[in-house]
């Protein structure tokens, strides 16, 4: 079973805050899933490297032209926190002064 620290590390990489109780629960559930997917390790005769699945038919490309989305207000209306029509975030870089 995964240790608490291992779960905490994966949660941190996932940008997920977990409570103590959640961490304990995921020690079990995460281990259970990783154990289940481990069966692939016994397959030997595979082609090396990343294998793409897509068919040639589904690779249509179009001109990369910019289009202006005119309904800016609608997009911004979904933002949880705005200031002067801009997304508001906590301070990332402190003033040097």
Partner 1 sequence: MKEIQGWTIETLISEYRKKTVKPSEVASSLLEAAQNSNSRLNIFLELNHDRVIKEALQLDAKLDQMDRYPLFGVPITVKDNFLVTGYKATAGSQILKNYVAPFTATCVQKLIDAGAIILGKTNCDEFAMGSSNENSSFGPVRNPWDPARVPGGSSGGSAASVAGSFCFGSLGTDTGGSIRQPASLCGVVGLKPTYGRVSRYGIIAYASSLDQAGPLTKTVWDTARVLEAMSGYDPKDATSSQAPVPAFSQLLHQTKPKPFKVGVLEQFPEGVHKEVVVSYEKALEALKTQGIEIVKVKLPYLEYALATYYLIAPSEASSNLARYDGIHYGHQSEETSDIETLYSKSRGEGFGPEVKLRIMVGTFALSSGYYDAYYEKATQVRKKIKDDFLKAFESVDAIVTPTSPTTAFKLGEKTEDPVSMYLSDIFTIPVNLAGLPGLSVPCGKDTLGLPIGLQFIGRPLQEVDLLQLAYLYEKARGQWALPT
Count the site residues for partner 1 by CB under 8 A: 55
Q: Which residue has the tokens 């926190």?
A: 81
Q: Is residue 44 a contact point for partner 1 (CB under 8 A)?
A: no
Q: Is residue 57 a contact point for partner 1 (CB under 8 A)?
A: yes
Q: Are 76 and 85 in contact (CB under 8 A)?
A: yes
d(CA 25, CA 4): 10
> Quick one: which of 15, 21, 66, 68 contacts partner 1 (CB under 8 A)?
15
Q: Is residue 78 a contact point for partner 1 (CB under 8 A)?
A: yes
Q: Are 59 and 53 in contact (CB under 8 A)?
A: no
Helix 20-37 and helix 4-13: axis angle, to 10°? 90
The residues that touch partner 1, with contacts defined as CB under 8 A, are 7, 10-18, 22, 25-26, 29-30, 32-34, 36-41, 43, 46-55, 57-62, 71, 74-75, 77-81, 87-92
């Amino acid at each position: 079973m995964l240790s608490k620290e291992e779960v905490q590390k994966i949660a941190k990489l996932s940008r997920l805050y977990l409570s103590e109780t959640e961490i304990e629960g995921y020690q079990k559930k995460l281990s259970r899933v990783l154990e289940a997917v481990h069966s692939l390790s016994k397959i030997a005769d595979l082609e090396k490297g990343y294998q793409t699945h897509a068919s040639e038919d589904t690779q249509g490309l179009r001109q990369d032209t910019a289009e202006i989305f005119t309904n800016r207000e609608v997009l911004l209306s979904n933002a949880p926190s705005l200031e002067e029509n801009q997304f508001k975030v906590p301070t990332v870089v402190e003033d040097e002064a």
